[in-house]
Amino acid sequence: MKPVIALVGRPNVGKSTLFNRITKSRDAIVADFAGLTRDRHYGDARLGGREFIVVDTGGFEPEKPSGVVAEMAKQTRQAVAEADVVVFVADLRAGVSAQDHDIARFLRTQQKKVILAVNKAEGMAESPLLAEFHELGIGEPHPLSASHGQGVRSLLEAALEDFDFGDEDEEGAEPDADAPIRLAVAGRPNVGKSTLINAWLGEERLVAFDQPGTTRDAIKVSLEREGRRFELIDTAGLRRKGKVFEAIEKFSVVKTLQAIADANVVVLMVDATVGVSEQDAHIAGYVLESGRAVVLALNKWDATDEYQRQQLQRSIESRLAFLKFAPLLQISAKKRTGLTALWKAILHAHASATVKMPTPVLTRLLIDAVQHQAPRRDGAFRPKMRYAHQGGMNPPLVVIHGNSLDHITDAYKRYLEGRFREHFKLVGTPMRIEFRSSK
C-alpha cells in the first residue's frame, strides 16, 4: 500500500505551497472531497519510482476547541491517525511560536514518525535561527523552501526512507495468473458498501485474517467466485469491531485512495435513489487516473422509482461521461439481486485489464487504422507510425513507435484507442497509448 504523508502545522507556514510542490512533480490528482472533508486535500505523488499519498491539513489550532476550528483540529487528528509519516511544517522567518509548541506536544503523544520541516529557508539555510527549532523536541529540523523547491527532495527522502517499495513493475511484466484478483469497493458513505460486502461474505465460507503488527489495522478477506480467487482490500467498511480510533470517521478518504491504488478492479458504488453526486465523480476521477479496472454498481435499485431512474441516467451522462468504458450494473445489495451479473462484470473487467496484445496484432491494427484514416500533417511534419507493442497491463498500455509522433492530436489518439478497444473487446478498463518517436 502506498505510504501516506500528512502535512501538519499552523496556518500560513506554507503547507499548501509544499503540497503543490510535492504533487506537481507528477500530474497531480487532487481529490477534493468537498462536503466530506473541509480544508483537506489529497494528492498522489512520486519520488523516483516510489509512489505515495500526501494529505494537506487545513491548519491546526488546538487551543480554540469550538466551531469550525474544532472541526479542523479534528480533521487534522484524523489525518495524523491515518498517516504513516507526519511532516510538521514550521516557519523559519516567524521563529518558534507557542502554537508550534502545542502541535509538537500533541505529535509527541502520537507514536508516529514525525519530521520537522522548517520552511521559508531560502537564503537562510545556515541561519542560527534554525537551531531554535530543536527545542520542539521533534528532532533535527530540515530547512527547506517550498516556494523555491529547495530541500524538498531531501525532506521526502527522509520521510520515505523506512518504507519498502519492493521492485518496480517492469515494463510488460505479466501478473501471476494464479494470484488473487484484488478488489476494492469504493463509494461515498451510505451507498451500501458494507451491505454488499456482507452479502458477499454471508454466502461464503469466509476466510478473514488480521495482519498483526501493521499500524494500519489492515484486514484481508479472501473469497472465491466463478473459479477465481479474490482478495477484498480493506476500506473503512471492513473496520475491525471493538477497536476504533477516536478521531476516525466511518468513511476514510485515505483508505479509499489506498484501496483504489492497490486494487486490480474497483467496484464503484453509487446510490441509485440519489444519482451521481459530485463526490461520486471525484472518486471516479481518481479511479480513472489510477488506471484501475472499474465496474459501476448502481445500488438500491429495489428502492428506485421511474423518476429516480431517469435522474440517475442523466447524472451518469453528465458527471461520469469519462467512464463510458465501465459497465453499469443494477443491483440491490440488500435484496441480493444482480450480484451474479456483478461478478461476471468484475471478471470481464479484469480480463480486459490484463489482456495480452501481441505485437503483430497491434501493428496490423495500427496499419489498418492509419490506412482508414491517416493522422493530419502538422506544418512540415507528417507523423509516421511504424509499429506498436504492449507496454503494460492493468491498465493495458500500447506503445506506438515512429517519427514526429509529438504532433498526433488527442482526437486521433482517441480514434486509435477506439480501434484497439473494439478489436480486443475491452470493457471496464481504461487504456493508455504512448508515442515514442525515434526522431
Q: Measured from the CB of residue 139, what is the shortest distance to ligand GDP in angstroms?
A: 21
Q: Read off the C-alpha cell for 129.
A: 535561527
Q: Which residues pair with 181 in a beta bridge?
A: 230
Q: Which amino acid is at 27?
A: D
Tell me if 70 is assigned to a ligand binding site. Answer: no
User: What's phi and psi for 8, nearest 5 deg?
Assistant: -130, 145
C-alpha grid cell, residue 75:
480533521
Cell of residue 55, nine digits: 494529505
Q: Which is nearer to ligand GDP, 9 or 428 (CB)?
A: 9
Query: What is the DSSP secondary-structure string of 71-102?
Result: HHHHHHHHHHHH-SEEEEEEETTT---HHHHH
Q: Which residue in the set 1, 5, 8, 13 belongs to the binding site for ligand GDP (CB under 6 A)? A: 13
Could you tell me the strand order of the sheet in which 113-119 lies?
41-47, 50-56, 4-8, 85-91, 113-119, 141-143
> Does residue 351 have a known ligand-binding role?
no
Does position 249 interact with ligand GDP (CB under 6 A)? The reply is: no
Residues 257-316 that bind ligand GDP (CB under 6 A): 299-300, 302-303
Residues 384-413 that bind ligand GDP (CB under 6 A): none
Q: Cell numbers of 255, please?
A: 483508505
Which bin fits 412, alpha (ψ -120 to 50), beta or left (φ > 0)?
alpha
Residue selected from 40, 41, 77, 193 as contacting ligand GDP according to rule CB under 6 A? 193
Q: Which is nearer to ligand GDP, 76 or 404 (CB)?
A: 76
Which range of residues in 130-138, 164-172, 189-197, 252-260 is near ligand GDP by CB under 6 A? 189-197
Q: Which is nearer to ligand GDP, 257 or 431 (CB)?
A: 257
Q: Which is nearer to ligand GDP, 146 or 293 (CB)?
A: 146
Which is closer to ligand GDP, CB of 11 or CB of 48? 11
Smallest gap from residue 91 Cβ to ligand GDP (A): 8
16 binds ligand GDP (CB under 6 A): yes
Find cell 512520486 and name the residue. Answer: 46
Residue 189 contacts ligand GDP per CB under 6 A: yes
The binder of ligand GDP chosen from 23, 75, 145, 252 (CB under 6 A)? 145
The set of cell numbers assigned to 405 is 509522433
**Does 392 appear as a known binding residue?**
no
User: Using an 8 Å Cβ cutoff, are 190 and 249 in contact?
Assistant: no
Cell of 362: 497491434
Asked if 256 interacts with ligand GDP (CB under 6 A), we say no
DSSP per-residue codes, 365-419? HHHHHHHHSPPPPBTTB--EEEEEEEEETTTTEEEEEEESGGG--HHHHHHHHHH
Instruction: Enumerate the H helices of 271-379 as residue ranges.
Output: 278-290, 306-319, 339-353, 359-372
**Is residue 271 within 8 Å of residue 192, measured between CB atoms?**
yes
Counting contacts by CB under 6 A, is residue 252 touching ligand GDP? Answer: no
Of 274 and 370, nearer to ligand GDP (C-beta) is: 274
Residue in 141, 143, 151, 192 binding ligand GDP, rule: CB under 6 A:
192
Nearer to ligand GDP, 14 or 395 (CB): 14
Which of these segments, 10-18, 310-318, 375-383, 401-409, binds ligand GDP (CB under 6 A)?
Answer: 10-18
When asked if residue 51 is in the footprint of ligand GDP (CB under 6 A), the reply is no
Q: How many residues bind ligand GDP (CB under 6 A)?
A: 31
Helix (H) or strand (E) holding 267: strand 265-271
194 touches ligand GDP by CB under 6 A? yes
Site residues for ligand GDP per CB under 6 A:
9, 11-17, 119-120, 122, 145-148, 187, 189-195, 237, 299-300, 302-303, 332-334
Binding-site annotation: residue ranges for GTP: 9-16, 56-60, 119-122, 187-194, 234-238, 299-302
